[in-house]
A and B are shown apart, each in its own frame.
Chain A
């Protein structure tokens, strides 16, 4: 479904991705973990063609998107939904218009249908009566949830979540995890989730991949990861200061 082959990316002299190989299975949730600043968001942006790799190939359904022109890339992007780390809501539009945006853009639905879908999607992320608010009037966690509602508005096949639960309270975190699990199951979605929340990782992930020093150093089922002998993974999961991961 999604396959990255030897993807390299540098910004100036800083190498962020240094030969990433990763296969993301169709209809499963793959969680990507890794240290802060390790390049997870950059990796996600490569999958959806927002960034082009310096070298290497990225296949979506056997099409190498690094080679595509804008028009074909747009066709591929219609399969995707994406939640950005900072939500990236359009701040000139109300919350309702934000969630309605992909619907208005790509579906022939009538206004009342759109309104219904929007309020349904917002309800699913625990928000009611916020349609008329502006994004600037929301808390960070609320913005993130609106971003989530917008990302799944079109029922995409593939959804990319950049830290969907960071900044939410424990109850809301659990609710969002449930939402991701339920929608994933119901529509057989392919989900790629970046998360730092160890508990969520094991709850929602069918597969877990760890990005470390520009490479995927492990990729496996939650149990394989949990019991991994790799000291980097062990340190990361236990959150210990001692170990191969340097804090500097």
Chain B
């Protein structure tokens, strides 16, 4: 009996701290919004972050997208063959990628690559007093450090998702048509028939939300890092874990709302 109540107690505490943290992240979001529209915005900073978040993530996104599409085709083929419905493999891959796996996998990869880097970079700036130095020079750290990163996240994750969707479908096509001998015409026709633009758009809206989540959490954790190299390491780990969890949880609710 005691063990159960202790476990529930622990769970409750964990949830409370999660909610509390989300509240603080929301406050940071509001201040990011407030500073985003206050000129001057430094285009150079924003492009630098976009390059880092977007351009430099293309390779991992291409790889994960392609192989995910390939494995979906393979799995789908074995399933659908039982009903003689191999023709649906293409549209399954395409729907799965555009609605779900494209945005989620891209966001998780970008979290691992760029979200962690944001936390580490801002964390280092915090513990070496560089953020204090910004404040002292009357330069708002939210505006200088967080706004460009959040903008980069919100714009680049959807773009990467497009790449991921495309590569996934291409990978599925390769496996389905070339390895499993599905008719190429049918494969493509079923995609165009069953996937409409709404699926893709909604996937991209999700991706933008995920981009916001991962950059905001990465920045939040780094910005509030304490205590030397160890603190920066902790902030980085926490950023990745919290962002991944939040992405997956919000994915459910976004899906429930949009589709």
Contacts and interface: CB of A to CB of B under 8 A. Distances in A.
Contacts of B124: 91
Contacts of B129: 84, 86, 88
B136 A77 contact: yes
Contacts of A86: 128-129
A220 interface: no
B208 to A, nearest CB: 26
Contacts of B139: 101-102, 105
21 contacts: A50-B136, A70-B140, A77-B136, A77-B137, A77-B138, A84-B129, A84-B133, A86-B129, A88-B130, A88-B133, A89-B130, A89-B133, A90-B125, A90-B130, A91-B124, A91-B130, A92-B121, A102-B137, A102-B139, A105-B138, A105-B139
A74 B138 contact: yes
A78 B138 CA distance: 6
A88 to B, nearest CB: 4
Contacts of B121: 92
A219 interface: no
B132 interface: yes
Interface string A63-87: 0000000100011011010101010
Nearest to B131: A88
Contacts of A102: 137, 139
Nearest to B134: A90
Contacts, number: 46
Nearest to A93: B130
Nearest to A90: B130
A66 to B, nearest CB: 15
Interface of B: 121, 124-125, 128-130, 132-140
Interface residues of A, number: 21
A33 interface: no
Contacts of A50: 132, 135-136
Nearest to A102: B137
A72 to B, nearest CB: 11
A88 B138 contact: no
Contacts of A22: none
A10 B140 CA distance: 26
Contacts of B133: 82, 84, 88-90
A31 interface: no
| 4 nearest A-B pairs in the assembled complex, by CB-CB distance | A88-B129, A88-B133, A77-B138, A74-B138
A106 interface: yes
A115 interface: no
A48 B130 contact: no
| Residue from B125, B130, B132, B138 having most chain A Cβ neighbours under 10 A | B138
A91 B129 CA distance: 11
Nearest to B42: A104
A80 B132 CA distance: 13
A84 B134 CA distance: 12
Contacts of A45: 132
| Residue from B125, B130, B137, B139 having most chain A Cβ neighbours under 10 A | B137
Interface string A41-73: 000010010100000000000000000001000
B117 to A, nearest CB: 12
